[in-house]
């Protein structure tokens, strides 16, 4: 058994969480540079918690410039076992309305300008992201959100776009009608891929703020409408998070879906060909298998 540490990555509108006991902002250094901000650590119901604002307090990093590798490395380095991503998203479904939460389970990655792996020349690895989110964590988030009185949809495909501009109407219709996506945002990729490489269980909660630009009656997505919805979504997100420790418990067994063993057979580079400098950078992420 391993001691649970629940890490929450807070997206747009969620820059802090209240109610942690022994709350302290801590600076964490990583071989991939500084994370988005300091990490707030503490306990909730006796269970270790960490909170990292994805864009930094005051929203300083654009979706392209979020230091995704440093963020995931930093969470792994401080002992996080379970990562909950909480994000603002547009919706492609009439029934997934602003204010609703979606427990995302699939992604289409359309991002093009981001570092997407901890591995590369000197230590090559290929993990599976066929099922990029952890159903055990998804169950906990779904229950926590329902208990908090939030309308929650289980399962959805998240289109990760580069941004920072929103989609054109033609793109919006393509993602919805042809590709069958349910929600859209700018940040869950490569975050989810990196969490898998770091053997962290990862769940993504999409907090719907708008109907993007496909909806005949809602016009085009616009930031003022998003901001108006963000505040209520963020306090609901915090309510959901408050319920997670009681659902996940202080001790965790191995993940039944294997998230925490993703690197078991993933590294292809022969031991004698591995670059010691690259291995040194992988100490937190892949130390278990190196």
Ligand X SMILES: Nc1ncnc2[nH]cnc12
* 283 labelled catalytic: no
* The pair of three-digit structure tokens given for residue 271, joined into one six-digit string: 């031991």
Counted residue by residue, the chain has a size of: 290
Binds 54: which of ligand X, ligand LNRAV4D5, none (CB < 5-8 Å by kind):
ligand LNRAV4D5
Binds 11: which of ligand LNRAV4D5, ligand X, none (CB < 5-8 Å by kind):
ligand LNRAV4D5
Q: Is 91 in the site for ligand LNRAV4D5 (CB under 6 A)?
A: no
In which residue are the tokens 């898998």 written? 196
**Size of interface with ligand LNRAV4D5, in residues (CB under 6 A):** 12
CA distance 149 to 127: 36
Angle at the Cα of 67 from the Cα atoms of 29 and 91, rounded to 5 degrees: 140
Instruction: Confirm or deny that 154 is annotated as ligand binding.
Output: no
CA distance 146 to 129: 27
Cis geometry, peptide bond prior to residue 164 (ω within 30 degrees of 0) = yes
The residues pairing with 207 across neighbouring beta strands, listed in sequence order, are 88, 101
* 210 labelled catalytic: yes
CA distance 236 to 149: 9
Name the residue number minimizing CB distance to ligand LNRAV4D5. Answer: 11
Residue among 8, 9, 88, 244 that touches ligand X (CB under 6 A): 88
7-66: contacts with ligand LNRAV4D5 (CB under 6 A): 11-12, 54-55, 63
* The pair of three-digit structure tokens given for residue 229, joined into one six-digit string: 């919805």
Q: Is 83 in the site for ligand LNRAV4D5 (CB under 6 A)?
A: no
221-280: contacts with ligand X (CB under 6 A): 221, 226
Binds 187: which of ligand X, ligand LNRAV4D5, none (CB < 5-8 Å by kind):
ligand LNRAV4D5
Measured CA distances, 288 to 77, 95, 216, 274 (Å): 12, 43, 51, 16
Instruction: Confirm or deny that 12 is annotated as ligand binding.
Output: yes
Q: Residue 276, Cβ neighbours under 10 Å: how many?
A: 8
Cis geometry, peptide bond prior to residue 190 (ω within 30 degrees of 0) = yes
Q: Residue 31, Cβ neighbours under 10 Å: how many?
A: 17
The interface region with ligand X, picked from 82-90, 105-113, 125-133, 139-147 by CB under 6 A, is 82-90
Q: Are 160 and 188 in contact (CB under 8 A)?
A: yes
> Which residue is catalytic, options 105, 109, 212, 260?
212
The interface region with ligand X, picked from 16-24, 36-44, 100-108, 205-213 by CB under 6 A, is 205-213
Q: Are 119 and 197 in contact (CB under 8 A)?
A: yes
Half-sphere exposure (CA, 13 Å, Cβ side) for 111?
A: 27
Q: Which positions touch ligand LNRAV4D5 (CB under 6 A)?
A: 11-12, 54-55, 63, 87-88, 163, 185-187, 226
Residues serving a catalytic function are: 210, 212
Residues marked as binding?
Answer: 12, 54-55, 87-88, 186-187, 210-212
Annotated binding site for substrate: 186, 210-212
- Residue ranges for the known binding site for phosphate are 12, 54-55, 87-88, 187
Contact residues toward ligand X (CB under 6 A) are: 88-90, 161, 166, 184-186, 209-210, 212, 221, 226
């Amino acid at each position: 058994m391993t001691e649970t540490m629940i890490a929450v990555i807070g997206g747009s509108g969620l820059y802090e969480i209240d109610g942690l006991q022994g709350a302290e902002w801590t600076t964490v250094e990583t071989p991939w540079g500084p994370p988005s901000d300091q990490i707030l650590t503490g306990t909730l119901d006796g269970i270790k918690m960490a909170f990292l604002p994805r864009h930094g307090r005051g929203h300083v990093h654009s979706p392209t410039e979020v230091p995704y590798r440093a963020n995931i490395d930093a969470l792994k380095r401080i002992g996080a076992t379970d990562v909950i991503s909480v994000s603002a998203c547009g919706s492609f479904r009439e029934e997934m309305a602003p204010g609703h939460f979606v427990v995302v389970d699939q992604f289409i990655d359309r991002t093009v300008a981001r570092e997407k792996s901890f591995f590369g020349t000197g230590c090559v690895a290929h993990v599976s992201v066929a099922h990029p989110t952890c159903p055990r964590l998804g169950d906990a988030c779904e229950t926590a959100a329902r208990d908090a009185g939030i309308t929650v949809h289980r399962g959805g495909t998240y289109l990760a776009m580069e941004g920072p501009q929103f989609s054109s109407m033609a793109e919006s219709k393509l993602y919805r009608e042809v590709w069958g996506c349910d929600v859209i945002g700018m940040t869950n990729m490569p975050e989810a891929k990196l969490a898998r490489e770091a053997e962290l269980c990862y769940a993504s909660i999409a907090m719907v703020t708008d109907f993007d630009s496909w909806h005949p009656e809602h016009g085009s997505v616009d930031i003022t409408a998003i901001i108006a919805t963000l505040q209520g979504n963020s306090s609901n997100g915090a309510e959901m998070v408050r319920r997670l420790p009681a659902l996940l418990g202080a001790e965790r067994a191995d993940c039944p879906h294997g998230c925490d063993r993703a690197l078991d057979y993933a590294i292809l580079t022969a031991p004698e060909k591995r670059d010691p400098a690259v291995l040194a950078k992988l100490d937190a992420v892949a130390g278990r298998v190196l």
